[in-house]
């Protein structure tokens, strides 16, 4: 039976589409397309491959003119004897990828499998010739990588809870507090997600308890969660701002906002100002800086105590007294027999 010419035309069209997509995929992965080899692989002429490449070039030019492209072009590389995709600024440089990889490794936040997944995808964003350099630079650190103790997968949980925050949906969680044997249930109005000191934290208001200050929940201690279809509303005057919260909280221990004043004479005033973004030097006394800062909760006390004998809290009076009592209890741990 004679084949319908329309069937042949449709087959040829589909074959060409698959061929062009395959070429685009090869180029987008950073590989070189050799016209002669491609012609052999697809059983077509070199002219057909050249037309395909020209079609891809025209498509990328149109995308760029429409404001949808990212300065991507396909150029012939004489040294490599083939065509390659030049992404311009859309490729990450090997220096940028290495910096990101170092941060991921130092964070210790992800399980080994999730870290490998993140690193592999990040390294794939730089030029193929650079990928080996980055991999070699982090090989030893990756081999000795030790995640924090919980070793739980977090990526999907981070995304789900971020969507609940964005859409302002109530979140019901079961949470295991430090030292507790059983979980507790909470219905929350989630308002922020922060990474600090190896862990991700959910910042949320407990439903029905007002908006004086938020509570913090370590993500890995959230054993189960349910995102409700019910939305919540926080008054604009009480709107939570992650950036401001981050400036004022230490060790993710939330609480009331307080203004403290302390005297500091340690080796690096810059380290203090970096650690406490709201801090400012308001005076100097005998080469000792007088520093003022607005901070949340008990976390600041932990940091102040870490400065040993190079710091003295001045105000408020009740906080100064609390610091003194804490240090006396600490001293009692070291009393001579």
pLDDT 10s digit of each residue in the chain, 337 long?
A: 455 544 555 556 678 888 889 888 888 877 899 999 989 888 889 898 899 889 888 888 877 665 555 678 889 999 888 998 887 666 778 899 999 999 999 999 999 999 999 999 999 888 777 888 999 999 999 999 989 888 889 999 999 999 999 999 999 999 998 888 899 999 999 988 988 888 999 999 888 777 677 888 999 999 999 999 999 887 776 677 776 676 666 666 666 778 899 999 988 888 888 888 888 999 998 889 999 998 876 778 888 888 889 999 999 999 999 999 999 999 888 877 6
By the 10 Å C-beta count (0-12 exposed, 13-18 middle, 19+ buried), 36 is classed as exposed
pLDDT at 222: 93
Stated as kind and residue range, the H or E segment containing 222 is: strand 222-231
Same domain, 162 and 123: no
Predicted confidence at residue 70, as pLDDT, reads 61
Residues 128 and 169 reside in one and the same domain:
no
Same domain, 129 and 204: no
Could you tell me if 60 and 112 lie in one domain?
A: no
Same domain, 12 and 85: yes
Phi, then psi, of 27 in degrees rounded to 5: -65, -40
- Helix, strand, coil % in the chain, rounded to nearest 5: 45, 25, 30
Question: What sign results for the dihedral spanned by CA atoms 143, 144, 147, 149?
Answer: positive
Cα(42)–Cα(15) distance, integer angstroms: 9
How far apart CA 60 and CA 72 sit, in angstroms, is 7
- Residue 324 belongs to some domain of the structure: yes
Q: For residue 249, is it within any domain?
A: no
Closest listed residue to residue 311, CA positions, set 277, 337, 276, 278: 276
* Nearest in space to 264 (alpha carbons), one of 241, 236, 283, 278: 283
Q: What are phi and psi of 82, to 5 degrees?
A: -175, 180
Q: For residue 38, what is the domain's CATH number?
A: 1.10.10.10
Residue 207 main-chain phi, psi, to 5 deg: -55, 130
List the CATH number of the domain containing 164: 2.30.30
Residue 150 lies in a domain: no
Q: From CA 208, how far away is CA 192, in angstroms rounded?
A: 18
Single pTM value for the model? 0.69
At 88 the pLDDT is 67
CA distance 295 to 14: 64
pLDDT of residue 5: 40
Do residue 28 and residue 53 come from a single domain? yes
Last residue of a domain, one of 66, 90, 114: 90
Domain final residue pick, 143, 164, 183: 143
With respect to residue 252, please indicate whether it lies within any of the assigned structural domains: no
- Domain annotation covers residue 21: yes
* Shared domain check, 216 and 169: yes
Could you say which of 213, 240, 267 is where a domain stops?
240
Q: CB burial class (10 A; 0-12, 13-18, 19+) of residue 212?
A: exposed
For residue 170, the number of C-alpha atoms closer than 13 Å in the C-beta half-sphere is 11
Q: Is residue 225 one of the residues assigned to a domain?
A: yes
**218 and 190 co-located in one domain:** yes
How many angstroms from the chain centroid is the CA of residue 234?
Answer: 26
The pLDDT, as a whole number, for residue 267 is: 85
Question: Do residues 203 and 159 both lie within one domain?
Answer: yes
- Determine, yes or no, domain membership for 179: yes
| Same-domain check for residues 120 and 160 | no
Are 86 and 161 found together in one domain?
A: no
Domain shared by 128 and 167, yes or no: no
Is residue 221 one of the residues assigned to a domain? yes
Domain count, the chain: 4
Q: Residue 193: which domain range? A: 155-240
């Amino acid at each position: 039976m004679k084949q319908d010419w329309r069937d042949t035309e449709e087959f040829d069209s589909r074959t060409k589409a698959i061929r062009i997509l395959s070429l685009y995929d090869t180029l987008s992965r950073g590989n070189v397309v050799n016209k002669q080899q491609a012609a052999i692989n697809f059983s077509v002429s070199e002219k057909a491959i050249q037309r395909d490449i020209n079609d891809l070039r025209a498509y990328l030019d149109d995308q760029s003119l429409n404001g949808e492209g990212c300065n991507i072009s396909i150029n012939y590389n004489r040294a490599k004897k083939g065509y390659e995709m030049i992404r311009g600024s859309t490729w990450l440089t090997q220096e940028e990828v290495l910096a990101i990889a170092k941060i991921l490794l130092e964070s210790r936040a992800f399980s080994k499998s999730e870290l490998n997944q993140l690193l592999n995808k990040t390294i794939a964003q730089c030029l193929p010739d650079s990928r080996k350099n980055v991999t070699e630079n982090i090989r030893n650190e990756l081999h000795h990588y030790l995640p924090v103790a919980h070793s739980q997968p977090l990526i999907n949980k981070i995304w789900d809870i971020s969507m609940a925050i964005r859409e302002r949906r109530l979140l019901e969680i079961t949470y295991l507090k430090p030292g507790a044997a059983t979980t507790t249930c909470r219905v929350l109005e989630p308002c922020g997600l922060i990474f600090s000191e190896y862990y991700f934290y959910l910042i949320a208001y407990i439903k029905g308890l007002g908006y004086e200050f938020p509570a913090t929940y370590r993500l890995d201690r959230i054993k189960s969660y349910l995102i409700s279809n019910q939305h919540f509303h926080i008054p604009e005057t009480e709107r939570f701002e992650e950036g401001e919260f981050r400036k004022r909280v230490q060790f993710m221990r939330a609480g009331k906002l307080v203004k403290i004043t302390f005297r500091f004479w340690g080796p690096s005033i810059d380290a203090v100002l970096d650690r406490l973004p709201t801090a400012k030097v308001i005076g100097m006394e005998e080469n000792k800086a007088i520093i003022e800062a607005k901070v949340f909760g008990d976390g600041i006390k932990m940091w102040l105590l870490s400065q040993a004998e190079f710091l003295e809290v001045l105000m408020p009076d009740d906080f100064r007294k609390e610091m003194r009592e804490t240090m006396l209890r600490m001293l009692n741990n070291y009393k001579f027999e």
